[in-house]
Amino acid sequence: MGDRRGFLSGLAAYGLWGFFPLYIRLLRPSGAVEILSHRIVWSVVSVALLTTVLRRWDAIRALGRKRRKLAGAALAAALIAVNWGTYIYGVNSDHVVETSLGYFINPLISVLFGVFIFGERLRSAQWVAIGIGAVAVGVITWDYGRPPWIALTLATTFGTYGLVKKRLGLPPTDGLLVESGALALPALAYVAWLTARGESTFTSISAGHAALLVFAGVLTAVPLMFFADAANRVSMTTLGMLQYTAPILQLSIGVYVLDEPMPPARLAGFALVWVALAVFTWDALRRARRARAVVAREPVPAAVAPAAMAAGD
- DSSP secondary structure string, 100-131? HHHHHHHHHHHHHHHHHTT-PPPPHHHHHHHH
Query: Please, what is the end-to-end C-alpha distance for the chain in angstroms?
Result: 26
Compute the Cα dihedral for 260, 17, 5, 155 and give only its sign: positive
User: Stretch 41-66: mean pLDDT, rounded?
Assistant: 84
CA angle 254, 259, 261 (to 5 degrees): 85
The predicted structure's pLDDT at residue 188: 93
The string of pLDDT tens digits covering residues 218-247 is: 887 788 778 778 877 877 667 767 777 888
Share of the chain above pLDDT 90, in %: 20
Residue-range domain boundaries for the chain: 2-298
CB 114 within 8 A of CB 240: yes
- DSSP secondary structure string, 21-48? HHHHHHTTTS-HHHHHHHHHHHHHHHHH
The model's pTM is: 0.77
> What is the distance between the alpha carbons of residues 276 and 18, in angstroms, rounded to a whole number?
19
Q: How confident is the model at residue 152 (pLDDT cuts 50, 70, 90)?
A: confident
> What is the distance between the alpha carbons of residues 152 and 35, in angstroms, rounded to a whole number?
21
> What is the distance between the alpha carbons of residues 41 and 24, in angstroms, rounded to a whole number?
16
Does 303 score more than 90 pLDDT? no
Q: What secondary structure letter does DSSP report for 300?
A: P
Does 312 score more than 50 pLDDT? no
User: Stretch 152-169: mean pLDDT, rounded?
Assistant: 84
CB 76 within 8 A of CB 165: yes
> What is the distance between the alpha carbons of residues 68 and 48, in angstroms, rounded to a whole number?
22
The predicted structure's pLDDT at residue 219: 84
The predicted structure's pLDDT at residue 189: 95
Does 173 score more than 90 pLDDT? no
